[in-house]
Amino acid sequence: MSKRVGIRDVAAAAGVSLTTVSHALSGAGQLSDATRERVRSVAADLNYAPNRLASGLRSKRSQIIGFVSDEISTTPYAGRVLLGAQEAAAKNDWVLMIVNTSADPRFEGRSIEALLQHRVDGIIYARMYHQTVAVPEALVGVPTVLLDASTGNDHISSVVPDEEGAARTAVEHLIAAGHRRIGYLSNVDDIPATRGRLDGYRATLRAHGIEVDETLITASDSTTASARAAAALLLDRSDRPTALFCFNDRIAMGAYQAAQTRGLRIPDDLSIVSIDNFEILADAMLPGLDSVALPHYEMGQWAIERLALELQADGDDDDAPAPQQIRMHCPLVTRQSVGPPPH
Protein backbone atom coordinates (compact mmCIF):
# COMPACT_ATOMS: atom_id res chain seq x y z
CA MET A 1 0.00 0.00 0.00
CA SER A 2 2.71 2.50 -0.78
CA LYS A 3 0.97 5.86 -1.14
CA ARG A 4 -1.83 5.48 -3.64
CA VAL A 5 -0.98 6.76 -7.08
CA GLY A 6 -2.98 9.73 -8.21
CA ILE A 7 -3.70 11.37 -11.48
CA ARG A 8 -0.71 13.65 -11.09
CA ASP A 9 1.64 10.71 -10.84
CA VAL A 10 0.30 9.44 -14.10
CA ALA A 11 0.67 12.87 -15.66
CA ALA A 12 4.28 13.10 -14.53
CA ALA A 13 5.11 9.62 -15.74
CA ALA A 14 3.48 10.19 -19.11
CA GLY A 15 4.90 13.67 -19.49
CA VAL A 16 1.55 15.35 -19.96
CA SER A 17 -0.72 17.57 -17.93
CA LEU A 18 -3.39 16.63 -15.45
CA THR A 19 -6.07 17.62 -17.89
CA THR A 20 -4.77 15.34 -20.56
CA VAL A 21 -4.76 12.40 -18.22
CA SER A 22 -8.28 13.13 -17.08
CA HIS A 23 -9.47 13.37 -20.64
CA ALA A 24 -7.63 10.32 -21.76
CA LEU A 25 -9.12 8.20 -19.04
CA SER A 26 -12.65 9.51 -19.17
CA GLY A 27 -12.90 9.65 -22.93
CA ALA A 28 -13.79 13.32 -22.85
CA GLY A 29 -12.07 16.06 -24.80
CA GLN A 30 -10.28 15.70 -28.12
CA LEU A 31 -7.08 13.77 -27.77
CA SER A 32 -4.98 12.12 -30.41
CA ASP A 33 -5.28 8.39 -30.25
CA ALA A 34 -1.57 8.22 -29.67
CA THR A 35 -1.50 10.25 -26.46
CA ARG A 36 -4.71 8.66 -25.25
CA GLU A 37 -3.22 5.23 -25.65
CA ARG A 38 0.04 6.21 -24.08
CA VAL A 39 -1.61 7.77 -21.06
CA ARG A 40 -3.82 4.75 -20.61
CA SER A 41 -0.97 2.33 -20.70
CA VAL A 42 1.06 4.41 -18.27
CA ALA A 43 -1.94 4.55 -15.95
CA ALA A 44 -2.32 0.81 -16.17
CA ASP A 45 1.37 0.29 -15.49
CA LEU A 46 1.24 2.47 -12.42
CA ASN A 47 -1.88 0.68 -11.31
CA TYR A 48 -3.73 3.92 -11.15
CA ALA A 49 -7.25 3.91 -9.78
CA PRO A 50 -9.37 7.01 -9.49
CA ASN A 51 -10.57 8.34 -6.19
CA ARG A 52 -14.32 8.36 -6.54
CA LEU A 53 -14.80 10.70 -3.65
CA ALA A 54 -12.82 13.33 -5.46
CA SER A 55 -14.31 12.76 -8.87
CA GLY A 56 -17.78 12.59 -7.42
CA LEU A 57 -17.31 15.77 -5.49
CA ARG A 58 -16.23 17.61 -8.57
CA SER A 59 -18.49 16.07 -11.18
CA LYS A 60 -21.54 15.67 -8.99
CA ARG A 61 -21.84 12.04 -9.94
CA SER A 62 -20.99 9.60 -7.20
CA GLN A 63 -21.57 6.49 -9.30
CA ILE A 64 -23.49 5.10 -6.39
CA ILE A 65 -27.09 3.93 -6.58
CA GLY A 66 -29.07 3.70 -3.38
CA PHE A 67 -31.19 0.61 -2.90
CA VAL A 68 -33.91 1.05 -0.31
CA SER A 69 -35.93 -1.99 0.59
CA ASP A 70 -38.40 -2.99 3.23
CA GLU A 71 -37.33 -6.42 4.29
CA ILE A 72 -34.34 -7.86 2.60
CA SER A 73 -33.83 -9.92 5.68
CA THR A 74 -37.02 -11.86 5.94
CA THR A 75 -37.65 -12.79 2.37
CA PRO A 76 -35.78 -15.34 0.37
CA TYR A 77 -36.42 -13.50 -2.88
CA ALA A 78 -34.28 -10.55 -1.98
CA GLY A 79 -31.16 -12.21 -3.22
CA ARG A 80 -32.35 -12.54 -6.77
CA VAL A 81 -33.59 -8.99 -6.90
CA LEU A 82 -30.31 -7.72 -5.55
CA LEU A 83 -28.32 -9.83 -7.95
CA GLY A 84 -30.24 -8.54 -10.95
CA ALA A 85 -29.83 -4.98 -9.80
CA GLN A 86 -26.21 -5.42 -8.98
CA GLU A 87 -25.17 -7.04 -12.22
CA ALA A 88 -26.94 -4.35 -14.19
CA ALA A 89 -25.33 -1.71 -12.01
CA ALA A 90 -21.86 -3.12 -12.60
CA LYS A 91 -22.38 -2.72 -16.34
CA ASN A 92 -22.84 1.00 -15.75
CA ASP A 93 -19.84 1.16 -13.47
CA TRP A 94 -22.13 1.78 -10.56
CA VAL A 95 -22.10 0.28 -7.17
CA LEU A 96 -25.05 -0.33 -4.87
CA MET A 97 -25.53 1.17 -1.44
CA ILE A 98 -28.16 -0.90 0.26
CA VAL A 99 -30.38 -0.17 3.19
CA ASN A 100 -33.02 -2.33 4.76
CA THR A 101 -35.69 -0.28 6.44
CA SER A 102 -37.55 -3.10 8.16
CA ALA A 103 -40.67 -1.25 7.11
CA ASP A 104 -40.04 1.31 9.83
CA PRO A 105 -40.80 4.80 8.47
CA ARG A 106 -38.47 6.51 10.91
CA PHE A 107 -35.61 4.29 10.01
CA GLU A 108 -36.50 4.62 6.36
CA GLY A 109 -36.28 8.37 6.63
CA ARG A 110 -32.88 8.26 8.24
CA SER A 111 -31.64 5.72 5.72
CA ILE A 112 -32.68 7.80 2.76
CA GLU A 113 -31.07 10.80 4.37
CA ALA A 114 -27.84 8.85 4.70
CA LEU A 115 -27.93 7.82 1.06
CA LEU A 116 -28.53 11.39 0.01
CA GLN A 117 -25.61 12.58 2.10
CA HIS A 118 -23.46 10.16 0.18
CA ARG A 119 -24.84 11.79 -2.96
CA VAL A 120 -26.23 8.68 -4.59
CA ASP A 121 -27.05 9.34 -8.23
CA GLY A 122 -30.42 7.70 -7.94
CA ILE A 123 -32.51 5.41 -5.83
CA ILE A 124 -34.25 2.10 -6.32
CA TYR A 125 -37.16 2.05 -3.94
CA ALA A 126 -37.97 -1.60 -3.56
CA ARG A 127 -40.42 -3.87 -1.84
CA MET A 128 -39.90 -7.56 -1.46
CA TYR A 129 -43.41 -8.41 -2.42
CA HIS A 130 -45.70 -6.47 -4.69
CA GLN A 131 -47.16 -3.50 -2.88
CA THR A 132 -48.67 -0.12 -3.53
CA VAL A 133 -46.64 2.50 -1.77
CA ALA A 134 -46.41 6.18 -1.12
CA VAL A 135 -43.05 7.47 -2.18
CA PRO A 136 -41.39 9.19 0.77
CA GLU A 137 -41.27 12.96 0.81
CA ALA A 138 -37.49 12.88 0.96
CA LEU A 139 -37.30 11.35 -2.50
CA VAL A 140 -38.96 14.13 -4.47
CA GLY A 141 -36.44 15.51 -6.88
CA VAL A 142 -34.26 12.42 -6.61
CA PRO A 143 -34.24 10.11 -9.63
CA THR A 144 -36.14 7.09 -8.39
CA VAL A 145 -37.46 3.83 -9.76
CA LEU A 146 -39.92 1.63 -7.91
CA LEU A 147 -39.29 -2.09 -7.79
CA ASP A 148 -42.03 -4.58 -7.00
CA ALA A 149 -44.02 -1.57 -5.94
CA SER A 150 -46.28 0.89 -7.63
CA THR A 151 -47.91 4.13 -6.72
CA GLY A 152 -50.95 6.06 -7.80
CA ASN A 153 -49.26 8.68 -9.89
CA ASP A 154 -47.45 7.99 -13.13
CA HIS A 155 -44.59 10.42 -12.69
CA ILE A 156 -42.33 7.69 -11.57
CA SER A 157 -41.18 4.51 -13.26
CA SER A 158 -42.00 1.20 -11.70
CA VAL A 159 -41.92 -2.51 -12.30
CA VAL A 160 -44.17 -5.15 -10.78
CA PRO A 161 -45.05 -8.72 -11.70
CA ASP A 162 -48.05 -9.25 -13.92
CA GLU A 163 -50.19 -10.87 -11.25
CA GLU A 164 -53.19 -11.54 -13.43
CA GLY A 165 -51.01 -13.00 -16.12
CA ALA A 166 -49.28 -15.23 -13.62
CA ALA A 167 -52.60 -16.57 -12.43
CA ARG A 168 -53.71 -17.09 -16.01
CA THR A 169 -50.57 -19.04 -16.81
CA ALA A 170 -51.07 -21.25 -13.79
CA VAL A 171 -54.74 -21.91 -14.36
CA GLU A 172 -54.33 -22.52 -18.07
CA HIS A 173 -51.65 -25.04 -17.22
CA LEU A 174 -54.29 -26.96 -15.28
CA ILE A 175 -56.93 -26.53 -17.93
CA ALA A 176 -54.53 -27.80 -20.58
CA ALA A 177 -54.05 -30.92 -18.49
CA GLY A 178 -57.80 -31.47 -18.66
CA HIS A 179 -59.01 -30.03 -15.35
CA ARG A 180 -62.37 -28.27 -15.05
CA ARG A 181 -62.95 -28.26 -11.32
CA ILE A 182 -60.11 -26.09 -10.09
CA GLY A 183 -60.04 -24.82 -6.52
CA TYR A 184 -58.16 -21.70 -5.47
CA LEU A 185 -56.31 -21.28 -2.21
CA SER A 186 -56.01 -17.52 -1.98
CA ASN A 187 -54.47 -15.48 0.77
CA VAL A 188 -56.14 -12.97 3.02
CA ASP A 189 -53.87 -9.94 2.82
CA ASP A 190 -55.19 -6.91 1.04
CA ILE A 191 -52.34 -6.56 -1.43
CA PRO A 192 -52.16 -6.31 -5.23
CA ALA A 193 -51.10 -9.93 -5.54
CA THR A 194 -54.22 -11.12 -3.77
CA ARG A 195 -56.55 -9.15 -5.99
CA GLY A 196 -54.63 -9.70 -9.22
CA ARG A 197 -54.32 -13.44 -8.87
CA LEU A 198 -57.93 -13.86 -7.86
CA ASP A 199 -59.06 -11.77 -10.82
CA GLY A 200 -56.79 -13.76 -13.09
CA TYR A 201 -58.18 -17.03 -11.76
CA ARG A 202 -61.78 -16.02 -12.34
CA ALA A 203 -61.15 -14.46 -15.73
CA THR A 204 -59.25 -17.46 -17.00
CA LEU A 205 -61.92 -19.93 -16.01
CA ARG A 206 -64.56 -17.85 -17.72
CA ALA A 207 -62.42 -17.40 -20.80
CA HIS A 208 -62.41 -21.17 -21.08
CA GLY A 209 -66.11 -21.50 -20.56
CA ILE A 210 -65.84 -22.77 -17.02
CA GLU A 211 -68.29 -21.30 -14.57
CA VAL A 212 -66.68 -19.89 -11.45
CA ASP A 213 -67.78 -21.82 -8.39
CA GLU A 214 -67.21 -19.40 -5.52
CA THR A 215 -67.31 -22.20 -3.00
CA LEU A 216 -64.13 -23.55 -4.54
CA ILE A 217 -62.26 -20.45 -3.40
CA THR A 218 -60.81 -20.30 0.10
CA ALA A 219 -58.31 -18.00 1.70
CA SER A 220 -55.79 -18.28 4.48
CA ASP A 221 -52.77 -16.35 5.57
CA SER A 222 -49.58 -17.30 3.85
CA THR A 223 -48.34 -19.83 6.35
CA THR A 224 -48.23 -23.48 5.60
CA ALA A 225 -50.18 -24.34 8.73
CA SER A 226 -53.11 -22.11 7.86
CA ALA A 227 -53.09 -23.28 4.29
CA ARG A 228 -53.34 -26.85 5.48
CA ALA A 229 -56.68 -26.08 7.07
CA ALA A 230 -57.93 -24.13 4.08
CA ALA A 231 -57.01 -26.95 1.73
CA ALA A 232 -58.74 -29.44 3.99
CA LEU A 233 -62.00 -27.59 3.49
CA LEU A 234 -61.86 -28.20 -0.24
CA LEU A 235 -60.45 -31.71 -0.14
CA ASP A 236 -63.03 -33.01 2.31
CA ARG A 237 -65.90 -32.21 0.00
CA SER A 238 -67.49 -35.15 -1.76
CA ASP A 239 -67.22 -33.17 -4.99
CA ARG A 240 -63.70 -32.08 -4.32
CA PRO A 241 -61.77 -30.29 -7.07
CA THR A 242 -59.36 -32.29 -9.18
CA ALA A 243 -56.82 -29.53 -9.09
CA LEU A 244 -55.72 -26.73 -6.80
CA PHE A 245 -54.26 -23.40 -7.76
CA CYS A 246 -52.33 -21.96 -4.81
CA PHE A 247 -51.53 -18.34 -4.07
CA ASN A 248 -47.91 -19.19 -3.41
CA ASP A 249 -45.51 -22.04 -2.74
CA ARG A 250 -45.88 -22.01 1.02
CA ILE A 251 -49.60 -22.38 0.66
CA ALA A 252 -49.00 -25.14 -1.87
CA MET A 253 -46.94 -26.93 0.73
CA GLY A 254 -49.92 -26.81 3.05
CA ALA A 255 -52.04 -28.26 0.27
CA TYR A 256 -49.54 -31.08 -0.18
CA GLN A 257 -49.76 -31.88 3.50
CA ALA A 258 -53.53 -31.85 3.52
CA ALA A 259 -53.56 -34.16 0.52
CA GLN A 260 -51.06 -36.48 2.09
CA THR A 261 -53.03 -36.72 5.30
CA ARG A 262 -56.02 -37.83 3.26
CA GLY A 263 -54.11 -40.34 1.23
CA LEU A 264 -54.47 -38.35 -1.97
CA ARG A 265 -51.57 -38.78 -4.35
CA ILE A 266 -50.14 -35.87 -6.34
CA PRO A 267 -50.59 -35.63 -9.27
CA ASP A 268 -52.63 -38.84 -9.71
CA ASP A 269 -55.50 -37.84 -7.46
CA LEU A 270 -54.87 -34.13 -7.25
CA SER A 271 -52.91 -31.68 -9.36
CA ILE A 272 -51.34 -28.62 -7.79
CA VAL A 273 -49.84 -25.48 -9.27
CA SER A 274 -48.80 -22.27 -7.58
CA ILE A 275 -46.95 -19.00 -7.93
CA ASP A 276 -43.49 -18.09 -6.65
CA ASN A 277 -41.17 -20.79 -7.84
CA PHE A 278 -39.29 -20.46 -4.60
CA GLU A 279 -36.78 -23.10 -5.53
CA ILE A 280 -35.72 -24.34 -2.15
CA LEU A 281 -39.31 -25.28 -1.51
CA ALA A 282 -40.53 -26.19 -4.97
CA ASP A 283 -37.60 -28.48 -5.67
CA ALA A 284 -37.73 -30.07 -2.25
CA MET A 285 -41.39 -30.97 -2.31
CA LEU A 286 -42.39 -34.46 -3.31
CA PRO A 287 -43.31 -34.49 -6.12
CA GLY A 288 -41.66 -31.32 -7.39
CA LEU A 289 -44.06 -28.40 -7.53
CA ASP A 290 -45.18 -26.74 -10.77
CA SER A 291 -44.96 -23.05 -10.09
CA VAL A 292 -45.11 -19.77 -11.96
CA ALA A 293 -41.90 -17.85 -11.31
CA LEU A 294 -41.92 -14.27 -10.13
CA PRO A 295 -39.28 -12.42 -12.16
CA HIS A 296 -37.18 -11.18 -9.28
CA TYR A 297 -33.87 -11.05 -11.05
CA GLU A 298 -35.41 -9.40 -14.07
CA MET A 299 -37.18 -6.76 -12.03
CA GLY A 300 -33.93 -5.85 -10.31
CA GLN A 301 -32.22 -5.59 -13.64
CA TRP A 302 -34.97 -3.58 -15.24
CA ALA A 303 -35.09 -1.09 -12.40
CA ILE A 304 -31.41 -0.28 -12.72
CA GLU A 305 -31.50 -0.09 -16.49
CA ARG A 306 -34.46 2.21 -16.32
CA LEU A 307 -32.68 4.41 -13.83
CA ALA A 308 -29.67 4.50 -16.14
CA LEU A 309 -31.89 5.72 -18.94
CA GLU A 310 -33.45 8.45 -16.87
CA LEU A 311 -30.15 9.53 -15.41
CA GLN A 312 -28.55 9.76 -18.81
CA ALA A 313 -31.08 12.28 -20.01
CA ASP A 314 -30.84 14.21 -16.78
CA GLY A 315 -30.19 17.90 -17.17
CA ASP A 316 -31.60 17.99 -20.65
CA ASP A 317 -35.12 18.58 -19.54
CA ASP A 318 -36.60 18.09 -22.95
CA ASP A 319 -35.59 14.64 -23.99
CA ALA A 320 -36.16 13.19 -20.56
CA PRO A 321 -37.88 9.87 -21.20
CA ALA A 322 -41.44 9.61 -19.97
CA PRO A 323 -41.75 7.43 -16.86
CA GLN A 324 -42.73 3.88 -17.55
CA GLN A 325 -44.87 1.50 -15.54
CA ILE A 326 -44.15 -2.11 -16.33
CA ARG A 327 -45.97 -5.32 -15.44
CA MET A 328 -43.53 -8.08 -16.02
CA HIS A 329 -44.28 -11.50 -17.46
CA CYS A 330 -44.08 -14.50 -15.15
CA PRO A 331 -43.02 -17.79 -16.74
CA LEU A 332 -44.20 -21.23 -15.68
CA VAL A 333 -41.72 -23.74 -14.31
CA THR A 334 -43.01 -27.28 -14.53
CA ARG A 335 -42.00 -30.17 -12.31
CA GLN A 336 -44.23 -33.11 -11.42
CA SER A 337 -47.28 -31.84 -9.59
CA VAL A 338 -49.68 -31.59 -12.49
CA GLY A 339 -51.23 -34.45 -14.40
CA PRO A 340 -54.56 -35.30 -15.99
CA PRO A 341 -57.58 -35.40 -13.68
CA PRO A 342 -58.59 -38.76 -12.27
CA HIS A 343 -61.52 -40.11 -14.27
Smaller CB separation from DNA, 7 or 135: 7
The amino acid at residue 242 is T
26 binds, among a copy of itself, DNA, none (CB under 5 to 8 A by kind): DNA
Residues 16-75 that bind DNA (CB under 7 A): 16-20, 22-23, 25-26, 28-32, 34-36, 50-51, 54-55, 57-59
Distance between CA 98 and CA 87 in Å, rounded? Answer: 14
Q: Which is nearer to a copy of itself, 142 or 203 (CB)?
A: 142
Give the three-state DSSP class for 290: strand
Cα atoms found within 13 Å of the Cα of residue 293, Cβ hemisphere only: 15
Q: What is the closest distance, in whole angstroms, from the C-beta atom of residue 94 to DNA in the complex?
A: 15
What is the nearest approach in angstroms of a copy of itself to the Cβ of residue 142? 8
Residue 153 touches which of a copy of itself, DNA, none (CB < 5 to 8 A by kind)?
A: none
Please state, as a whole number, how many other Cβ atoms lie within 10 Å of the Cβ of residue 6: 17
Q: Please identify, using beta-carbon distances, which residue of 122 and 254 lies nearer to DNA.
A: 122
| Separation of alpha carbons 37 and 43, rounded Å | 10
DSSP string, 232-249: HHHHTSTT--SEEEESSH
Cα-based distances in Å from 240 to 176, 180, 231, 245, 275: 19, 11, 10, 13, 22
Residues 251-310 that bind DNA (CB under 7 A): none
Q: Shortest approach of a copy of itself to residue 33 CB, angstroms?
A: 26
Binding partner at 32 among a copy of itself, DNA, none, C-beta below 5 to 8 Å by kind: DNA
Closer CB to a copy of itself, residue 286 or residue 313? 286
In the complex, the residues that contact a copy of itself under the rule CB under 8 A are 1, 49-54, 56-57, 62-64, 71-76, 78-80, 82-83, 86, 90, 93, 95-100, 102, 107, 110-111, 113-119, 140-142, 223-225, 228, 250, 253-254, 257, 260, 278, 280-281, 283-284, 286, 297
Write the CB contacts of 204 (distance below 8 Å, at least 6 apart in sequence). Answer: 167, 168, 171, 172, 175
CB of 45 to a copy of itself, least distance (A): 16
First vs last Cα of the chain: how many Å apart? 75
Q: How many CB atoms lie within 10 A of CB 199?
A: 14
Helix (H) or strand (E) holding 281: helix 279-282
C-alpha span between 58 and 7 (Å, rounded): 14
- Prior bond of 241 cis (ω within 30°): no
SS3 of 143, please? coil
| Residue 29 binds which of DNA, a copy of itself, none (CB < 5-8 A, kind-dependent) | DNA
31 binds, among a copy of itself, DNA, none (CB under 5 to 8 A by kind): DNA
Nearer of residues 19 and 260 to a copy of itself, judged by Cβ: 260
Q: Which does 25 bind (CB under 5 to 8 A by kind): DNA, a copy of itself, none?
A: DNA
Which residue stretch of 10-18, 183-191, 226-234, 301-309 sits at the interface with DNA (rule: CB under 7 A)?
10-18
For binding to DNA (CB under 7 A), which residues are involved?
4, 6-8, 15-20, 22-23, 25-26, 28-32, 34-36, 50-51, 54-55, 57-59
